Copies of this chain bind each other. A is one copy, B any other.
Amino acid sequence: MAEPRTQPAQPSEPLSDAPVPKVVVSRLSLYLRELQRLEAAGQQTISSGQLGTLLGFSDAQVRKDLGFFGQFGYPGVGYRCDELIRAMRDILGTNHPWSVAMVGVGNLGQALLGYRGFGRQNFAIAAAFDADLAKVGQVIQGIRIQPLDELAETVRTLGIRLGMIVVPVGAAQEAADRLVAAGVEGIVNFAPVTLVLPHHVQNVGVDLAIELEQLSFAVTTKLTRAGGTDADEGGGRAGNGHAGAV
């Protein structure tokens, strides 16, 4: 932060008002994940070519993606890991903590309550709700399960902006409606159904069976782009495949 810099600025925000392709943002998360790993391993700088190779993208794609948000590199050197990490987190919005409301505390919900990966990226499940009154009052992973009736008030009181739906498929839409009514701005939905939401509420779906379906197809057939394992030449690198929001 207090480093003397020569030229690179880090606007860290969409730069122009040009809309950023969704696919670029999904790669940003991968860049960040890899950069954090590299930094932890002691690497100070990295070039677009190296970063791309690690993830199965071209050097040009890495540079173009970053170019949507500013100029972060040093010609002849590459990018400084620490700076780029900070910039990515600024862009993705994870330099500040996010509170998340979980609805549905079954097997999967309980596992997610204990998942350490959220905290590492600055997400905290701040409240959890379940329709089953037998669960209400239990404390799981330090969180007291609340009844659905308390959802709206708790969400407002804690200033929660994101929700996570982990209920059975039949209860998902109602859970979504409650979260929306409480003022949540985005929802991650683990139920295998397409939610009906107002346009101002963002939505990411994770359908575990669909991930396997995509693999089933890929194992059987050839795809056009970045299919299944992708990119990379020769030896053994794995490229990357992420499921794609449902």
* Residue from B110, B214, B236 within 8 A of A25 (CB atoms): B214
Asked whether, in the complex, the Cβ of B92 is within 8 Å of the Cβ of A203, the reply is no
Complex CA gap A34/B246 in Å reads 11
Q: Is residue A37 within 8 Å, beta carbon to beta carbon, of the partner chain?
A: yes
Nearest residue, chain B, Cβ from A13? B221
* Residue from B197, B222, B232, B245 within 8 A of A243 (CB atoms): B245
Known: A33-B210, A213-B94, A214-B29. A243 touches B240 (CB 8 A): no
Q: Is residue A204 within 8 Å, beta carbon to beta carbon, of the partner chain?
A: yes
Complex CA gap A207/B103 in Å reads 20
* Residue from B188, B207, B238 within 8 A of A215 (CB atoms): B188
Asked whether, in the complex, the Cβ of B240 is within 8 Å of the Cβ of A162, the reply is no
Describe A's contact surface by its main secondary structure.
Answer: mixed
Q: From residue 198 to 246 of chain A, which have CB atoms closer than 8 A to chain B?
A: 198-229, 232, 236-246
Q: Mark A92-132, 1 if CB is under 8 A from B, else 0.
A: 11100010100000111011101101101101000000000
Chain B nearest CB, measured from A195 CB (Å): 4
Chain B nearest CB, measured from A22 CB (Å): 5
Interface size class of A (residues with CB under 8 A): 35 or more
Asked whether, in the complex, the Cβ of A210 is within 8 Å of the Cβ of B245, the reply is no
Asked whether, in the complex, the Cβ of A196 is within 8 Å of the Cβ of B237, the reply is yes
Q: Is residue A26 within 8 Å, beta carbon to beta carbon, of the partner chain?
A: yes
Asked whether, in the complex, the Cβ of B206 is within 8 Å of the Cβ of A211, the reply is yes
Top 8 A-B pairs, shortest CB-CB distance? A242-B245, A202-B228, A242-B246, A197-B238, A241-B245, A111-B111, A203-B229, A107-B111
